Amino acid sequence: MTKTLNLITEYAGKIKPDSIEEYVSVGGFEALKIAMGKSPIESIEEIKKSKLQGRGGAAYPTGVKWEQAYQIQKNPKYIICNADEGEPGTFKDKVILDHLPLMLIEGMTIAAYILNSPKGFIYIRGEYPESQKIVARAIKAAKERGFLGSDILGTKFSFDIEIISGAGAYVCGENSALVESTEGNSGRPRMKPPFIKNHGYMGMPTLVNNVETFAYVPYILKEGGEKFASYGTEFSGGTKLVCLSGNLVNKGVFEVPFGITLRELIYDIGGGIPDGRKLKFVQLGGSSGPCIPEEMLDTKLCYKELKSKGLTLGSGAILVVDDSNCAVDFLKCVTEFFYHESCGKCTPCREGNKQLLALVNKFANGNATENDLQIIKKVGYIMKNAAFCGLGETAPTAHLSLIKYFEDEFVEHINKKCRANVCNFGGVEND
Amino acid sequence: MINLSINNIPVSVEEGTTILQAAKMIGVEIPTLCYHEDQSVKANCRICLVEVKGAKGLLTACSTKVFEGMEVFTNTRAARDARKTVLELILASHPMDCLKCIRNQKCELQKYAAEFFIEELPFERTYQILPKDESSPSIVKDLSKCIKCGRCVEVCQSIQSVGAISYSHRSDEYRIATLFELPLNETVCVYCGQCSLACPVGAIYEKSEIEKVWKALGDPEMHVVVQTAPAVRVSLGEEFGMEPGSIVTGQMVTALRMLGFDRVFDTDFTADLTIIEEGNEFLQRLKNGGPFPMFTSCSPGWVNFVETFYPEFMANLSTCKSPQQMFGALAKTYYAQKMGISPDKIFVVSVMPCTAKKYESAREEMNSSGFRDVDVVLTTRELARMIRESGIDLKKIVESEFDAPFGITSGAGVIFGASGGVMEAALRTVYEVVTQRELGKLDFEDVRGLDGIKEAVINIDGLEVKIAVANSLSNARHLVDKIKSGEREYHFIEVMCCPGGCIGGGGQPIGTVNRVRNERIKSIYEVDANMPIRQSHKNPVIKQLYDEFLEKPLGERSHHLLHTHYRARG
C-alpha cells in the first residue's frame, strides 16, 4: 500500500466534515486567503503549472478552462460543481463530499473569487442523500464563520453555494444536461455551441468542474503548482483518486500518483484477484469505458499514454473482472444500463442502445449469427461517431473493445457455448 | 464571406451559414428530418451527417457552421453509410405501414426510404404500437409513428406559446406527451393544428370527416351546400403540384360541383357580413366607451386561447360568430326559407384551412337555428383527398363561379385569409360609415404581411383609433401581456392564431412554411385587387340580406343568429 499518496485525502475520516475548527486546524482556508492576496491571473498561472486536468472524465486542462472563463466579458458568472457521480464503479467524489466537503467548498470559493462569481451550485446525485446533508451542514458552517456568504473574510467578495439534488438520470452528469437540470428543466443535453462556458446556467457564463478537480485547488495554491505537478508524469500532474472494484482483494478509493501502472494498481494496491482466479479483463473508467485484456496492464496511468493506446481513464473507475465471468453476460449488464439511461433525444443513442440490447441478448441466448457481430460494430460506429452527446458516443465502448479483444467468446456463443458457464441457452432468457 | 469547399467544389458563403445551407447552394440536398426551415436547429435526428476534414467523428450539417478553409465531404462512403444507418435505425422503430398512412406520399421519412432504397433492414424491428389519441374533434395524435424530431413541440411551445405537448420519459419510452399524458381534449390544446403541419410523418393529423360528407352527398333527401374559406383558394393548388400561391378559385368551385354539392358558396360572403356586424359592434363600443380593446373573434384557435389563458379578456372578444358559423346559421334559416327547404334537410359543409374550425363547429352553442350551424368541417387537405379520390385533375378542369346568393362577395371578404385582413376590411367599412366620406386609398399596407405584431393609428374624423394586428399565439400573448400590464392601449386588435393568418392555418397543405405563406399572402391581395367590389358594406347581397331578413346590424335576429358568448376553459 506504499504506492498511494494523500495530497488531498490525508484528513479524510480524521476530521469532522462540517467542523470549521478542525478543517482550519489542518490548514483549511489558507489557500483561499492566499488566492485573495493574489491577482486572478496569478492564481490561474499556479493552476496551469500544476498540470491539473479535469477529473470528471474529459481531462480538459483546468488552468486553461479557468483562464477562458476569466476572459469572458459577461456577468454574472456561475460556478457549478458536478457531483452527479453516476458512472458505475465510481465512488470517489463521495469520499470528498462525505469527509472533506469544506475542501470542496474552499476550492469552489477560490474559483468564484477568481471569476468574481456570486453564486455556485453543487449538483449532487439523488442517490447520495446523506452526502447532500453533510455538504449542506458544511455550507452552513462556512457561512456562519464568514468563509462563504456575504463579505467573505471581511472583504467585499460575496459567494453563496446552493445544493441541487439530481433525480436519478445518468445523463445529468453530462455538463450541458446538468445545467439544464440545474435550471429546472428535464435533464437532456444541449446543442453545442454555444458552449456552457459562454452560455450556461440561465444563459450566463458558467464554469463546471468535477468535485475532485475543485478539491485539488486548495493544495495547489498552498503548495504550489510545480510541487503538485511533480507527483505525476510529464503530461498529467499530481494525483488521482481511483476506485478499485470487482474481483479484487482490496476494493475502495485510493489516491495514487499519475505514472503508476494498471498492474501496480491491481496487484500492489488492490491485492490481486481473490480465490486463485485469473484476471479476464479490466474495464477502465466505468461502464462507458473500454474493456482491456491482461496484456495491456503495464499501461501507465497518464492521460497521454492512455490516449496513445486508444484508452481513457474516465472518472477513475477500475473494474476488475476475473475468469468466472462471461464477456457476453457482462456486456448484457452494461447494455441494459445504457438502454435505461439514454435520454432518448437523438436517434443513434435512443435507437442504437435498443438495438445493442437486442443484439447482445441474442448472443446471451445463443440465437446470434456471425452477421450480428458486424451489426454490433455498425451500431457502435454510428453511436460513437454521430450521437448527440458523450453518453451515446461512449455507450458502445465496452461492446467494441470486448469484440476486439474477446471475439472468440462471442463466436462461441453463436455455437451456444459459454466458457464461463454463465449463459443459459435453454431458450429462456436469464436475468 | 467564408470560403470553403464541399466535395472539392469551392463555395463562398456568408459567415454563420451552416453546411446544410452551403451545400444547397451548390445543388446538394443533404437529408434532414428534425430540421425545419422556420424553426431552431435541433440536431436530434442525426441524419444529415457529413465528413469534415480534421473533425472527430461525423458532423451534423444542420448544426455545423462553416469556417474558412473547411473541407466538407457529403458523398464519401462513410457519410452515405452513416446517413443510411441512421435512417435504418429510425425505420426499425417505425411501423412502416405507409400504404394506410394519411401521409402516404407526403412523408419525409418515406421519401428518404425511397431515395436511399432501403430494401431490407439490418436491424430488429422494435416499434411499439401505442393507442391513438382521438379525443379531440380536431386532431389525432398517433405516437406509434412519431420519430421524435421535436418539430411539433417547438411550434406548440415557441410559436404558439400554448405548451400542450412536451417531452416525457427517456430512452425507448421517450415520447411527445401532454401533461400527465392526458388526452388532448383535457389539455390546454387550442386545436390550431400547427403541429400537424410541422410533423414530418403521420404522427399528428386532422381528424378526418370525409366519410360523413360522402354519406350526405349520396343521400338524395339532403340538400348539401358547401362554403369555402378565403384562404383555401390560394393553397388548394399546391395539393395538385401547382406553385405555392396559385389561385384556383374557379377550378375549386368546379371540383366541388363535380363532387356533387348542390350549391357552392363562398365564406367571403359571411366575412363581409362579419364586417358589418363587427364594425357596428366596434362603433357601439366607441359610443359606450368600451370595453377596449375589442378583439376579433373569427379565429377559433385564438378564441380557445383567450378562454384558456386569458378568461379575464373574454368580454373584449367581439361577440360576432366567425364567418363560418354565421354562414351555417343563415344557411339553415334565411337560405332555407328562400329555397323552401326544411332546415333539417340542409347539410352544411365547410372547407377550411383550419383544424380548430372542427372544434368550433362542434361547440354546443353553435346551433342557433335549432340545428347544427355547420355539420362538417373539412380541411384543405381533406378536400384535396376527396378531389383525388374522385379522379378529378384540378389542373385540367374549367373554372366556374360560386352560386348566388352567397357567392357575391367583396375583396374585403377575401383578405380575411391573411393576417391583417380582418382589420383592413373593417377599416375600409368603419371609416366610410363614420365619416360618410369615400376612402380614397383602400389599402392599409401597415397591417399586412408576416410580421408578428403590426400597429397603426388611424384618424377617423378626429378620433385617433389605435389598432394592432397579431399573428401566431406567441405574438398574441406578448400583446395581451402588454395590455394587461398597462404598457399598451388599443381600441381594436385583430388576432389570427396561425402564423400569417388563415393562409398559414393548421389544415393547409403539408409543406406550409413561411416561404410558402408569403406567396399565398401575395395571391390573397391579388384576388382582392381584382375584385369589382372591395368593401363589405358595398356588397349588394349584404344589403338585400338586411332588407329581407336581418333588418339591421346588431338587431334582434343578428343577435340571435350571428352572435355568441364565451366560457372559460381549462
* ipTM of the complex, rounded to two decimals: 0.94
Number of other CB atoms surrounding residue B340 within 10 Å? 6
Domain limits of chain A?
20-231, 239-322, 327-415
For residue A89, give how far its alpha carbon lies from the nearest alpha carbon of chain B (Å).
Answer: 22
B138 as an active site residue: the answer is no
Binary contact (A386, B123; C-beta < 8 A)? no
Of the candidates B136, B246, B297, B318, the residue annotated as catalytic is B318
Binary contact (A342, B170; C-beta < 8 A)? yes
DSSP state of B65: B
Question: By the CB < 8 Å criterion, does A382 face chain B?
Answer: yes
B298 as an active site residue: the answer is yes
Backbone dihedral angles phi then psi of residue B391, each to the nearest 5 degrees = 75, 20
Q: Give the CATH number of domain A239-322.
A: 3.10.20.600
The answer to whether A313 and A306 have CB atoms below 8 angstroms apart is yes
| pLDDT value for A242 | 97
Binary contact (B174, A344; C-beta < 8 A)? yes
Question: By the CB < 8 Å criterion, does A378 face chain B?
Answer: yes
| pLDDT value for A424 | 87
What is the distance of C-alpha B229 from the center of its chain? Answer: 11
| pLDDT value for A431 | 46
B357 as an active site residue: the answer is yes
Binary contact (A393, B44; C-beta < 8 A)? no
The answer to whether B156 and B184 have CB atoms below 8 angstroms apart is no
Binary contact (A386, B92; C-beta < 8 A)? no
Cell of B312: 379575464
Q: How far is CA B339 from CA A7, B222, B336, in A?
A: 98, 13, 5
B502 as an active site residue: the answer is yes
Q: Which residues from B are below 8 Å from A186, CB to CB?
A: 167
| pLDDT value for A430 | 46
Tens digit of pLDDT for each residue in A114-157?
Answer: 999 999 999 999 999 999 999 999 999 999 999 999 999 999 99
Tens digit of pLDDT for each residue in A310-345?
Answer: 999 998 999 999 999 999 999 999 999 999 999 999
B207 as an active site residue: the answer is no
Of the candidates B51, B239, B277, B281, the residue annotated as catalytic is B281
pLDDT at A378 over 50: yes
Range of the domain at B382: 210-233+264-562
Nearest to A57 by CA among A307, A380, A334: A307
Binary contact (A339, B172; C-beta < 8 A)? yes
Residue B46 lies in a domain: yes
Residues in chain B: 570
For residue B482, give how far its alpha carbon lies from the nearest alpha carbon of chain A (Å).
Answer: 24
Binary contact (A355, B124; C-beta < 8 A)? yes
Question: Sheet containing B463-471: which strands, arranged edge to edge?
Answer: B294-295, B492-496, B463-471, B453-460
| pLDDT value for B440 | 85
Which residues of chain B are at the A interface, by a Cβ-Cβ cutoff of 8 Å?
A: 41-47, 49, 57-58, 60, 63, 82, 85-86, 89-90, 92-93, 122-124, 126, 148, 167, 169-175
Cell of A26: 489542518
| pLDDT value for A2 | 63
Number of domains in chain B: 2
CA distance A388 to A191: 8
Interface test with A, best of B124, B147, B165 (most A CBs within 10 A): B124
Last residue of a domain, one of B71, B90, B109: B90
CA distance B291 to B304: 20
CA distance A157 to B458: 56
Number of other CB atoms surrounding residue B390 within 10 Å? 12
**Confidence band for A427, pLDDT divided at 50, 70 and 90:** low
Residue B370 lies in a domain: yes
Closest partner CB to A351 (pick from B49, B89, B169): B89
CA distance B230 to A356: 53
Residue B312 lies in a domain: yes
Q: Which residues from A are below 8 Å from B124, CB to CB?
A: 355, 358-359
Of the candidates B360, B382, B424, B494, the residue annotated as catalytic is B360
Closest partner CB to B170 (pick from A343, A352, A355): A343
For residue B90, give how far its alpha carbon lies from the nearest alpha carbon of chain A (Å).
Answer: 7
Q: What is the 3-state secondary structure (H, E, C) of chain A?
A: CCCCCCCCCCCCCCCCCCCHHHHHHCCCCHHHHHHHCCCHHHHHHHHHHHCCECCCCCCCEHHHHHHHHHHCCCCCCEEEEEECCCCCCCCCHHHHHHHCHHHHHHHHHHHHHHHCCCEEEEEECCCCHHHHHHHHHHHHHHHHCCCCECCHHHCCCCEEEEEEECCCCHHHHCHHHHHHHHHCCCCCCCCCCCCCCCCCHHHCCEEEEEHHHHHHHHHHHHHCHHHHHHCCCCCCCCEEEEEEEECCCCCEEEEEECCCEHHHHHHHHCCCCHHHCCEEEEEECCCCCCEEEHHHCCCECCHHHHHHCCCCCCCCEEEEEECCCCHHHHHHHHHHHHHHHCCCCCHHHHHHHHHHHHHHHHHHCCCCCHHHHHHHHHHHHHHHHHCCCHHHHHCCHHHHHHHHHHHHHHHHHHCCCCCCCCCCCCCCCCC
Q: Which residues from A are below 8 Å from B167, CB to CB?
A: 186, 188, 344-345
pLDDT at A288 over 90: yes
Q: How far is CA B539 from CA B104, B280, B410, in A?
A: 43, 16, 6
Tens digit of pLDDT for each residue in A202-242?
Answer: 999 999 999 999 999 999 999 999 999 999 999 999 999 99
Residue B173 lies in a domain: no
Pairing of strands B263-266, B223-228: parallel
Is the bond leading into B353 cis (omega within 30 degrees of zero)? no
CA distance B403 to B269: 11
- Average pLDDT (A242-261) is 97
Q: Is B3 helix (H, G, I), strand (E, B) or coil?
A: strand
B120 as an active site residue: the answer is no
Q: Which residues from A are below 8 Å from B43, CB to CB?
A: 191, 346, 388
Closest CA in chain B for residue A376: B123
Binary contact (B44, A379; C-beta < 8 A)? no
Position A196: which residue type? I
Residue A123 sits at the vertex; the CA angle it makes with A122 and A128, to the nearest 5 degrees, is 105
CA distance A235 to B6: 37
Residue B112 lies in a domain: no
The answer to whether A66 and A44 have CB atoms below 8 angstroms apart is yes
| pLDDT value for A375 | 98
| pLDDT value for A150 | 96
Interface test with A, best of B172, B173, B176, B201 (most A CBs within 10 A): B172
| pLDDT value for A329 | 97
CA distance B355 to B500: 16
The answer to whether B563 and B285 have CB atoms below 8 angstroms apart is no
Binary contact (B60, A386; C-beta < 8 A)? yes
**Percentage of chain A with pLDDT > 90?**
96
For residue A13, give how far its alpha carbon lies from the nearest alpha carbon of chain B (Å).
Answer: 38
Binary contact (B126, A355; C-beta < 8 A)? yes
Q: What is the CATH number of the domain that holds B71?
A: 3.10.20.740
Beta-bridged to residue B12, according to DSSP, are B3
CA distance B448 to B520: 12
pLDDT at A429 over 60: no
Backbone dihedral angles phi then psi of residue A77, each to the nearest 5 degrees = -105, 145
Cell of A46: 499556479
Of the candidates B107, B152, B195, B298, the residue annotated as catalytic is B298
For residue A135, give how far its alpha carbon lies from the nearest alpha carbon of chain B (Å).
Answer: 30
Question: By the CB < 8 Å criterion, does A428 face chain B?
Answer: no
Are B75 and B224 found together in one domain?
A: no
Residue B489 lies in a domain: yes
Binary contact (A347, B41; C-beta < 8 A)? no
Binary contact (B46, A186; C-beta < 8 A)? no
For residue B100, give how far its alpha carbon lies from the nearest alpha carbon of chain A (Å).
Answer: 24
- Cell 435541433 appears where? B42
CA distance B205 to B142: 8
Q: Which residues from A are below 8 Å from B171, CB to CB?
A: 339-344, 350, 353-354
| pLDDT value for B570 | 65
Which positions of chain B have pLDDT values less than 50?
Answer: none
CA distance B13 to B363: 52
Q: What is the CATH number of the domain that holds B540?
A: 3.40.950.10
- Cell 476475473 appears where? A322
- Cell 456568408 appears where? B14
Helix A211-223 and helix A101-115: axis angle, to 10°?
Answer: 80
Q: How far is CA A49 from CA A30, A187, A208, A303, B46, in A?
A: 19, 35, 20, 16, 40
CA distance B375 to A56: 63
Size of interface A-B (CB pairs under 8 A): 101
CATH class for the region spanning A20-231? alpha beta
Closest partner CB to B126 (pick from A169, A354, A386): A354
Residue B58 lies in a domain: yes
Q: Give the CATH number of domain A327-415.
A: 1.20.1440.230
Closest partner CB to A351 (pick from B93, B167, B175): B93
- Average pLDDT (A90-114) is 98
Question: By the CB < 8 Å criterion, does A415 face chain B?
Answer: no
The answer to whether A283 and A290 have CB atoms below 8 angstroms apart is yes
Of the candidates B45, B107, B156, B502, the residue annotated as catalytic is B502
Binary contact (B57, A385; C-beta < 8 A)? yes
Question: By the CB < 8 Å criterion, does A188 face chain B?
Answer: yes
pLDDT at A65 over 60: yes
| pLDDT value for B569 | 87
CA distance B504 to B513: 8
Last residue of a domain, one of B41, B65, B90: B90
For residue A339, give how far its alpha carbon lies from the nearest alpha carbon of chain B (Å).
Answer: 6
Are B472 and B324 found together in one domain?
A: yes
Interface test with B, best of A185, A382, A400 (most B CBs within 10 A): A382
Q: Which residues contact A265 (CB under 8 A, 6 or more apart)?
A: A242, A244, A254, A256, A301, A318
Q: Is B563 helix (H, G, I), strand (E, B) or coil?
A: strand
For residue A90, give how far its alpha carbon lies from the nearest alpha carbon of chain B (Å).
Answer: 23
- Average pLDDT (A93-118) is 98
Structural Rg of chain A based on CA atoms: 22
Of the candidates B108, B277, B278, B424, the residue annotated as catalytic is B278
Burial class from Cβ neighbours inside 10 Å (0-12, 13-18, 19+) for residue A37 reads exposed
Q: Which residues from B are below 8 Å from A188, CB to CB?
A: 167
Q: Which residues contact A163 (CB under 8 A, 6 or more apart)?
A: A121, A122, A124, A132, A135, A136, A139
User: What mean pLDDT, rounded, does chain A reach?
Assistant: 96
The answer to whether B498 and B506 have CB atoms below 8 angstroms apart is yes
